[in-house]
Amino acid sequence: MIIGIGVDVCQIDRYAAAEDRRPGFSARWLTEAEVALPLSSRVARFAAKEALAKALLSEGGLRWHDAEVVRDEHGRPRFEITGTVAARAAELGVDKIHLTLSHDAGIAAAYVICERSEP
């Protein structure tokens, strides 16, 4: 059963401008491994975390470092969740999180679906 769906779209140049204006901007939202990625990948991960918060029906209180976008053995993006994000997912009974990322033409987008297995 689908618990929540989240989508987020970010302009890559706008994100880059925020990084230029505020040193440490990306480190505030992204893990060390995510910060080390190329710009378009960083922006896609930022969008992924925004989309995840929406899919988890969050009203705040989630720590962004508690959700890291990693690649599975086939190269597909997925979340590793801990702490506040894992607690919120457990509260909702979420046992599967689907994630897809895209970046093209100056835009990064992320779609997240959180679901719970039927009892």
DSSP of 77-113, one letter per residue? EEEEE-HHHHHHHHHHT--EEEEEEEEETTEEEEEEE
Q: Extract the annotated binding site for Mg(2+).
A: 8, 50
C-alpha 22/C-alpha 35 separation (Å) is 14
C-alpha 114/C-alpha 91 separation (Å) is 12
Q: Extract the annotated binding site.
A: 8, 50
C-alpha 73/C-alpha 66 separation (Å) is 21
